[in-house]
Amino acid sequence: MNLYISADMEGVAGVCSWHQINARTPNSDYALYRRFFTEEILAAIAGARAGGAGDILLNDSHGPMRNVILDDLPDGVRVIFGNRKPFSMVQDAERSSGAFFVGYHGAVGEPNAALCHTYTPSVIYEARVNGIVCSEATLNAALLGQWGVPVLLITGDRTTVEGVQQTLPWVVGAVVKESIGQSCVNSLHPRAAQAVIQEAASQAVRLAAHAKPFVFTVPIELQIDVAAVEQADFIALIPGFARIGRRTVRFIHDDYAVVFKAFVAAFRLGAAATAPG
């Protein structure tokens, strides 16, 4: 199996504040949580290899997407490092045979999912595909699914893990913490979380034959409620987008890869709409 790992940081054990995971915050705890992030990835890799995974491609998927401590990674792991990728958190996954979501978090608006957001919190108030409110996990899983790649494992808080399993019931979950609102967690110790992830990763690879690619039925309709009205003004300029409400835009296509790129274009342009002039 060629395994793909998309790793975010909000769902890492103990994480409950942006100050832990934003390198640019003065006096942040980023250096410490960057290490915990890396150690959770190492646990997932160790479990995957114990379960029989072969080649591993890791996509660093948090913030500037340059977080993982590269020389801690074992031999034989390739890394996608850096931001502005067309397919963002699932870039270059086309040739993989299964995927892990490590350190994932809940969708914007989700109660009891610490640091919940969907891609760009300053722009995306809610994202829906075919009427389903989507998290990053759902949006990313559907692109993987279009490429025939099933999601095998998700790690994060209970809300995030169980939310994904409602839509993708074959996904093995590793719950490392319980969220108490948006900025507090009741968490496992980092080493205990890593043990849970390692065991779940091994199980996920062994059960890979039961997992299915997740796809949306066509035509695929993306609707985005944005945070500010001028963001809808800007996004509606993108060919194919229609303004259907005061702060709501719509994009319809049969190819989910096109829908996903439209979504990425929308949140990038939306961010430019409200950037300081």
Contact set with Zn ion (CB under 5 A): 8-10, 62
In degrees to the nearest 10, what's the CA dihedral of 198, 29, 89, 78?
Answer: -60
Q: Closer to Zn ion by CB, 10 or 39: give it.
A: 10
| Residue nearest to Zn ion as judged by C-beta position | 62
Shortest CB 67 distance to Zn ion, Å: 9
Shortest CB 213 distance to Zn ion, Å: 24
Q: Closer to Zn ion by CB, 53 or 134: give it.
A: 134
Q: Closer to Zn ion by CB, 47 or 103: give it.
A: 103
3-state helix, strand, coil in the chain (%, to 5): 35, 25, 40
- Residues sharing a CB contact under 8 Å with residue 139, sequence separation 6 or more, in sequence order: 118, 119, 127, 129, 260, 263
Q: Closer to Zn ion by CB, 62 or 177: give it.
A: 62
What is the Cα–Cα distance from 119 to 65, expressed in whole angstroms? 13
Shortest CB 11 distance to Zn ion, Å: 8
Identify the three-state secondary structure at position 184.
coil
Q: Closer to Zn ion by CB, 49 or 62: give it.
A: 62
- Sequential DSSP letters for 38-90: HHHHHHHHHHHHHHT---EEEEE-STTS--S-GGGSPTTEEEE-SS--TTGGG
Shortest CB 110 distance to Zn ion, Å: 14
Shortest CB 116 distance to Zn ion, Å: 11
